[in-house]
């Protein structure tokens, strides 16, 4: 009995000694670190060290159980986005650099991480993410002397990545058609069914069609990667990106089938398909590729540089 109590006391002392050190290690603010102003959901603006902010971004944007090299690639992409926001403050200054939503970059607080993963998962996953951020400390992607637009998304599905000009009209030489790197092209296959009335409402059609036929849906053009770029519905033209937003579709790799009074859209992949596929990055990491190779694959022609230390 005395021996059991002795082990309990030793274990308790170890826990008391280790946990504060771990917390300090996680929350230590690097000297001279960049600061970023984040608009919180309650409307307040918090000023956070950039590297600490990035832990919340990676936690929100990529599954924490992904391979370490994929998490590192995500950290560099997220840091690049933040650095570009810091270097291009709009006028008049809105008073913050980023919010916590997908309008800039999603972000989770420590409290939200604990809610998402539970207490045990919080200690495990936050440590993995913090290690990935620390392992790429200050690193950003640059092309022609400027921070790149390091776009990323969930999954390319069955097709290569997209050229930026075929999705958002502006060309960027480092956002081209490259292989997705994904091992499972049908990881994300989703179906969305709408009645004619629902479709008319969501598309804001002035007249509700009585029915729908194959002649009412036509592809006008496709991207180089093969996704739908423009199409017509009931004679009205739509960009596929616009249709995706209006109908809440997962991607622009679209097929459809028609039944009496309704249409079912089937999408492959998840996201806009420009830049880095997160699932592709993880699949490449599982093959042993390092984060530098992963980033070079999805952002060809870019270089990894390290931010100079500054006091702000």
Domain boundaries, the chain: 32-150+280-312, 154-274
Beta bridge partners of residue 258, listed in sequence order: 263
**Burial zone of 11 (CB within 10 Å; 0-12 exposed, 13-18 middle, 19+ buried):** exposed
- Calculate mean pLDDT across residues 68-76: 98
Q: For the whole model, what pTM was predicted?
A: 0.86
Q: Which of 3-7, 90-94, 268-272 has the highest mean pLDDT?
A: 268-272
Whether 94 has a pLDDT exceeding 60, the answer reads: yes
Q: What is the pLDDT of residue 89?
A: 84
Question: Distances in Å between the alpha carbon of 213 and those of 197, 266, 288?
Answer: 14, 17, 49
Q: What is the pLDDT of residue 56?
A: 98
- Calculate mean pLDDT across residues 49-54: 96
The average confidence (pLDDT) of the chain is 89
Alpha helices in the chain (DSSP H): 2-27, 50-61, 68-87, 110-135, 196-202, 240-247, 278-286, 291-298
Kindly indicate the confidence band of residue 7, based on its pLDDT and cuts at 50, 70 and 90.
low
Separation of alpha carbons 155 and 207, rounded Å: 36
Coil/strand/helix, residue 205: coil
- 227-241 pLDDT, tens per residue? 999 999 988 999 999
CA quadruple 214, 220, 226, 229: dihedral positive or negative?
A: negative
Beta pairing class for 276-277 and 152-153: parallel
Separation of alpha carbons 76 and 140, rounded Å: 6
- Main-chain dihedrals φ then ψ at residue 268, nearest 5 degrees: -120, 135
Q: What is the pLDDT of residue 209?
A: 80
Residue 250 contacts residue 31 (beta carbons within 8 Å): no
Kindly indicate the confidence band of residue 90, based on its pLDDT and cuts at 50, 70 and 90.
confident
Which helix H or strand E contains 232, and what residues bound it?
strand 228-233
Separation of alpha carbons 90 and 97, rounded Å: 9
């Amino acid at each position: 009995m005395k021996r059991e109590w002795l082990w309990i006391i030793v274990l308790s002392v170890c826990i008391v000694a280790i946990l504060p050190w771990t917390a300090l290690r996680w929350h230590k603010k690097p000297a001279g670190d960049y600061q970023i102003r984040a608009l919180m959901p309650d409307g307040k603006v918090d000023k956070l060290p950039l590297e600490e902010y990035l832990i919340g971004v990676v936690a929100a944007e990529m599954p924490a159980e992904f391979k370490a090299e994929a998490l590192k690639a995500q950290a560099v992409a997220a840091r690049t986005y933040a650095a570009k926001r810091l270097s291009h403050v709009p006028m008049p200054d809105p008073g913050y650099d980023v919010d916590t939503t997908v309008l800039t970059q999603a972000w989770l607080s420590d409290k939200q991480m604990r809610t998402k993963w539970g207490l045990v998962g919080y200690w495990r996953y936050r440590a993995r993410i913090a290690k990935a951020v620390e392992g790429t400390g200050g690193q950003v992607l640059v092309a022609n002397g400027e921070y790149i637009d390091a776009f990323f998304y969930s999954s390319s599905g069955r097709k290569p990545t997209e050229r930026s000009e075929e999705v958002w009209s502006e060309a960027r030489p480092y956002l081209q058609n490259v292989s997705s790197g994904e091992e499972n092209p049908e990881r994300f296959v989703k179906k969305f069914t709408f009645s004619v009335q629902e479709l008319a409402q969501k598309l804001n059609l002035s007249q509700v069609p009585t029915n729908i036929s194959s002649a009412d849906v036509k592809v006008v053009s496709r991207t180089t990667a093969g996704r739908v770029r423009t199409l017509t519905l009931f004679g009205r033209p739509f960009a596929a990106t616009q249709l995706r937003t209006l109908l809440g579709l997962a991607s622009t790799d679209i097929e459809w089938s028609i039944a009496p009074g309704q249409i079912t859209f089937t999408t492959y992949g998840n996201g806009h398909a420009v830049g880095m596929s997160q699932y592709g990055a993880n699949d490449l990491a599982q093959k042993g590729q390092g984060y530098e190779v992963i980033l070079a694959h999805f952002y060809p022609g870019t270089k990894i540089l390290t931010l100079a230390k500054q006091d702000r």
